[in-house]
């Protein structure tokens, strides 16, 4: 039975679990700006559907919320298809490797990108957000000062104080 005003919590949970995998399939690989560049019309439609879906999660009836969840799944699938043919390179994350230790770091705003990289590389990775990288770098004053004086300089190796 459909109610008006807001969906039942069980319907919200059902819809979130339905939409999450489809959204993760897109966001683990690409950014919305990539979709906008490749297919502006689809980007606009998807952005509108995201708004409708989010609104329905709060104020929609059970039936409206289920309808918008189904539309979200179709929208995310269409976005994936648009970027898979012709294939667009993943751009939702950056991968860095310290070849001395084999440490592989994924930098992304999307936590689902870690699973994507692990499925491609078959390795354990460390996930960092861009803000975490900024905080770490800011904490290393000597590196920040060196980069401000020599913007093209690269950090090639860090030797621990006790190893020097």
- Per-residue model confidence as pLDDT tens digits over 56-107: 999 999 999 999 999 999 999 999 999 999 999 999 999 888 888 888 888 9
Q: What is the pLDDT of residues 6-19, one digit of tens each?
A: 899 999 999 999 99
What residues contact residue 5 under an 8 Å CB cut-off, 6+ apart? 59, 61
- Give the per-residue pLDDT at 164: 56
- Give the per-residue pLDDT at 162: 75
What residues contact residue 71 under an 8 Å CB cut-off, 6+ apart? 49, 52, 53
- Give the per-residue pLDDT at 113: 86
Separation of alpha carbons 21 and 154, rounded Å = 38
Please tell me whether residue 57 adopts helix, strand or coil conformation: helix
The alpha carbon of 162 is separated from its chain's Cα centroid by a whole number of angstroms, namely 38
Q: Kindly report the pTM of this predicted structure.
A: 0.73
The pLDDT > 90 percentage for the chain reads 54
Both tokens of residue 137? Answer: 């770098």
- Give the per-residue pLDDT at 4: 57
Closest CA to 123 of 149, 144, 142, 96: 96
- Give the per-residue pLDDT at 71: 98
Are the C-beta atoms of 120 and 92 separated by less than 8 Å?
Answer: no
What residues contact residue 63 under an 8 Å CB cut-off, 6+ apart? 2
Q: What is the DSSP letter of 4?
A: S
Residue 5 dihedral angles phi and psi, to the nearest 5°: 105, -60
Are the C-beta atoms of 11 and 62 separated by less than 8 Å?
Answer: yes
């Amino acid at each position: 039975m459909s109610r008006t005003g807001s969906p039942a919590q069980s319907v919200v949970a059902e819809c979130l679990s339905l939409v999450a995998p489809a959204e993760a399939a897109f966001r683990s690989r690409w950014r919305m700006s990539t979709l906008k560049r490749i297919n502006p019309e689809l980007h606009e439609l998807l952005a509108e559907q995201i708004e409708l879906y989010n609104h329905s999660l709060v104020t929609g009836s059970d039936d409206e919320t289920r309808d918008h969840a189904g539309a979200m799944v179709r929208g995310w699938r269409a976005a994936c298809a648009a970027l898979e043919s012709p294939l667009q390179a993943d751009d939702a994350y950056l991968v860095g490797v310290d070849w001395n230790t084999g440490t592989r770091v994924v930098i992304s705003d999307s936590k689902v990108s870690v699973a994507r990289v692990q499925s491609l590389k078959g390795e354990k990775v460390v996930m960092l957000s861009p803000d975490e990288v900024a905080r770490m770098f800011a904490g290393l004053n000597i590196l920040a000062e060196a980069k401000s004086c020599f913007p093209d300089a690269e950090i090639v190796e860090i030797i621990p104080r006790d190893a020097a």
